[in-house]
Chains A and B, each alone.
Chain A
Amino acid sequence: MNYIRKGLESIVTGALSAVPTKIGKMVRVIGFRPLFKQLDSSAKISSRVRFSGTSRISIEKGASINQYAEIHSGGNLIRIRANAFIDLGVSIRDCGEISQSSGIVLGENSSLGPYCCLAGPGAINIGSNCMIASHCSMYANNHIFDDPARPINSQPLTTVGITIEDDCWLGTGVRVLDGVTIGTGSVIGAGAVVSRDIPPYSVAVGVPARVVKSRKEQFSTSLNKK
């Protein structure tokens, strides 16, 4: 039964993904609806987008996904919330153990720029109104490599999870590592590698990312000047 379902999913998503333009978007919304956990009629799925595990993918009102993106669920829920925007070539993969707290969520009005890569198996929660620029990577896993006698790929993974709270701006090429929480309203400079939690309203840059100023202090300074 599982094989039949998977086969049907491949055929339907593959065939309908080739239909271009607005006609394709309409056809996909109609044709995909029975396969997906949730697919709102106002969602816009461009051509050449690849899906697997559609029964665990939920795409909400007004969300849009550009060409060549890939969304693969291997067990946990992937939720693209209302008016979220996924740009060209983004890769979202969750291939983890099934867990209620895991899964990948892209919050309302948030956007992922071209060629971002998000992967589980830990949970990735992106809040609302976040802007994540091109080429960012968020990997909610780390390889354990303590034993030099065994190949690293046979040793376990950490799967703590990544949280990016509301209204964050991540510049181009930011890398967010497993276990990190980026607080509300933070700005992460281009090319930074975030290996530790960032408090809310911070501006952090560099490799590894270090907080260089607080938006709150800057804001109250500018108010005092007026």
Chain B
Amino acid sequence: MNNILDQKSLEQRLHPNSIWISRKTRILTSLLGAIPLSLGNRLRCLFYRSILGGLGEGAYLGTGLELEGARGIFLGAGSAVDNGVRLNSGEPNGRIILRSQALLDRGISLETLGGCIEIGEKTCIGSYVCMAGPGDIRIGKNCMIASHVSVYANNHIFTDIHTPIGDQGLSCAGIVIEDDCWLGTGVRVLDGVTIGHGSVVGAGAVVTKSLPPFSVAVGVPAKIMYKRSNSTPKSIALHQN
């Protein structure tokens, strides 16, 4: 099986930032970026393979795909990237890794700012989701992340009132969303949070603290309502009454 992401092939493909690669990226995305339908997809897969860090078999690339630091972007077998997506790996150290069959819906913006954004197998990310580093963001397998979610692995430091906040630097601990999590629409995940596997976060929640596995959390800030277990699920219990 062709594993595009084993350590050896990673090292072979990565090399220092090159002006020629970024020019080539701009030329290819300008020429091929707007071609619609399956013709566009085939042309993009054919030609973008030479600029991306890795492109697996059967990947789908939609129109309007904006690539920065393409050498640090790895798209696994069967992954799909819908229209209008922006992937900025922030070379030389940044990485965006989509494992096999991961799906990115339209308008998604992933900017690593030098960190790593990794999306696990069979995970679906909804429309207009924004994720940014520089902390690492790791999302596990089989996750479902609904539309308009924000995942920001950074916070501005603002202790000094005499200096503009933008000049005071960032803290960036990183964010981990473990396997089999479901984040509802409009959830905000802040830096330093780990969402344990099997958790469900209600729509609009703002997750400021880590959640243990199998939590169901809602609200601003997100508070755990109950823990998922093998006893009768609450949703079924409610319907029976």
Residues of A within 8 A of B (CB): 18, 20-21, 48, 67-68, 87-89, 109, 113-115, 129, 131, 133-135, 167-169, 171-173, 185, 187, 189-192, 201, 205-207, 215-216, 218-219, 222
* B160 on the A face (CB < 8 A): yes
Residues of B within 8 A of A (CB): 26, 29-30, 33-34, 64, 66, 84, 86, 107, 109, 128, 130, 148, 150, 152, 156, 158-161, 164-166, 186, 188, 190, 204-206, 220-221
- Please list 13 pairs of residues, one from A and one from B, whose beta carbons are closer than 8 Å in the complex, sorted by A's number: A21-B26, A88-B107, A109-B164, A113-B130, A114-B130, A135-B128, A167-B166, A169-B166, A173-B206, A185-B161, A191-B188, A191-B206, A205-B220
On whether the beta carbons of B206 and A115 are closer than 8 Å, the reply is no
Report, nearest first, the 3 A-B pairs whose CB atoms are least far apart: A191-B206, A20-B30, A172-B150
Q: How far is the CA of A151 from the CA of B46 in the complex (A)?
A: 54
Q: How far is the CB of A29 from chain B (nearest CB, A)?
A: 18
Residues of B within 8 A of A67 (CB): 64, 66, 86
Residues of B within 8 A of A129 (CB): 164-166
On whether the beta carbons of B150 and A190 are closer than 8 Å, the reply is yes
Residue among B66, B152, B158 making CB contact with A215, cutoff 8 Å? B158
The winner among A87, A167, A168 for most chain B CB atoms within 10 A is A167
Known: A134-B130, A190-B152. 18 other contacts (CB 8 A): A20-B30, A88-B86, A88-B107, A89-B84, A114-B130, A133-B152, A167-B165, A169-B158, A169-B166, A172-B130, A185-B165, A187-B156, A190-B150, A190-B190, A201-B161, A205-B221, A207-B220, A219-B161
On whether the beta carbons of B206 and A189 are closer than 8 Å, the reply is yes
Which residue of chain A is the closest to B156 with respect to CB atoms? A169
Residues of B within 8 A of A206 (CB): 220-221
Which residue of chain A is the closest to B130 with respect to CB atoms? A134
Residue among A20, A171, A201 making CB contact with B29, cutoff 8 Å? A20
Q: How far is the CA of A205 from the CA of B84 in the complex (A)?
A: 32
A172 with B33: in contact, given A133-B150, A167-B164 (CB under 8 Å)?
Answer: no
